[in-house]
Amino acid sequence: MNKQAMDRRNFICHAAAAGLVSQFPSRAGASTPRSKFVRSSTAEEVTAGLDLTGKTAVVTGCNSGIGFETMRVLALRGAHVIGTARTLDKGREACGKVQGKATPVALELTDFRSVVACADTIRAMNVTIDMLILNAGITLGDWQQVNGLERQFVVNHLGHFLLTQRLLDRVASAAQGRVVVVGSGNHRDAPPGGIQFDDLSGRDWYRRGYAHSKLANGLFSLELSQRLSKTRATSNCLSPGPVDTNIRRDLPASSAPPNLKTPAQGAATVCYVAAHPSLKQVSGDYFSDCNPAPQSAYQTDRAMAAKLWQVSTKLTAPYLI
């Protein structure tokens, strides 16, 4: 085992041990500051005046929608953005459109070998990661599986879980690293009981599969915040709100909610949580429209979050080290 793999394994082991200590406090709560920004605020507006020169951000799903706008604005503010897309060609095309430094990397979240290769490529750049933004996602109108698991759960949660594990030491080594998980208000529509640990195939609940995966996003962020509580790093989840992007490409147009946000508005909360200095000490919280937001009882269930972490670790175990 090479030194990088040993360092990564040691960090994961220490983080896991920390996560088992229940008295570690979350830094979220009543002290989380409120911002002046609103639903119509844009990513450029919420980052106005910020100088991100010298910082590195990883943005998954950089080639369109919220991911592209997030990459564009962070690069505009001076950050080096490593943008992932399902193919290197799509990533190159997207990165070529932004003003600033953007580096494309291929990432296919349904293929854990691709996730490992993506993480290894990023690690080879020998940079600390100030912002790890888990944005890529899908929403489906039918039942699809990957290796016996419901596809949205794999793409939206498990692939990102694995990527985070393989990059987490680089986040923790930053001056104030942040993991930003793009969830959804749809987490409230998860199947009864929350995460369907007894049957992750989706056979009986696939119509709520997107909400199920978004609940997994929120629980993952919550548990990660506990495991990072003795580091400088933080983890927060957010809902960008309903946004007019191609994530809805597999759904009928009639299913679109009214008053969709633009990608510039949808990326506002992402950029705010990733970069705004007022959130330096905030971890384990959930945001919408650039402010703390209420959550369902399921998404604040620490026992469910801990179990999801254990199950996710088991499902990705061959690729973690």
Q: What is the CATH number of the domain that holds 95?
A: 3.40.50.720
* Structural domain span for residue 304: 41-316
Residue 258 inside a domain? The answer is yes
Q: How far apart are CA 149 and CA 232, in angstroms?
A: 34
Taken in order 247, 225, 174, 3, the sign of the CA dihedral is: negative
Verify whether residue 206 is a known catalytic residue: yes
Backbone angles phi, psi at 270, to 5 degrees: -60, -50
Per-residue pLDDT of the chain (321 residues; tens, 9 = 90+): 565 665 665 565 555 444 433 333 345 555 899 999 999 999 999 999 999 999 999 999 999 999 999 999 999 999 999 999 999 999 999 999 999 999 999 999 999 999 999 999 999 999 999 999 999 999 999 999 999 999 999 999 999 999 999 999 999 999 999 999 999 999 999 999 999 999 999 999 999 999 999 999 999 999 999 999 999 999 999 999 988 776 555 556 555 567 899 999 999 999 999 999 999 999 999 999 999 999 999 999 999 999 999 999 999 999 997
Mind listing the pLDDT tens digit for each residue in 127-158? 999 999 999 999 999 999 999 999 999 999 99
Q: Could you identify the residue written with the tokens 């529509």?
A: 189
In a domain, 98, yes or no: yes
**pTM for this prediction:** 0.90
Q: Which of 169, 177, 160, 184 is nearest to 15 (CA)?
A: 169
Selection from 321, 319, 244, 277 nearest residue 64 by Cα: 244
The first and second tokens of residue 293, run together, are 């937001």
Q: Which residue in the list 206, 210, 272, 298 is annotated as catalytic?
A: 206
Going by C-alpha positions, the residue among 26, 35, 42 that lies closest to residue 240 is 42
Q: What order of strands is seen across the sheet that includes strand 80-85? A: 102-106, 80-85, 56-60, 131-134, 178-182, 234-239, 286-288, 291-292
* Ramachandran region, residue 16 (left: φ > 0; alpha: ψ -120 to 50; beta: rest): alpha
Number of domains the chain is built from: 1
Is 52 part of any domain?
yes
Is 163 inside any structural domain? yes
The verdict on residue 20 lying in a domain is no
Q: Count of alpha carbons within 13 Å of 268, Cβ hemisphere only?
A: 24
Contact 191/151 with Cβ under 8 angstroms?
Answer: no
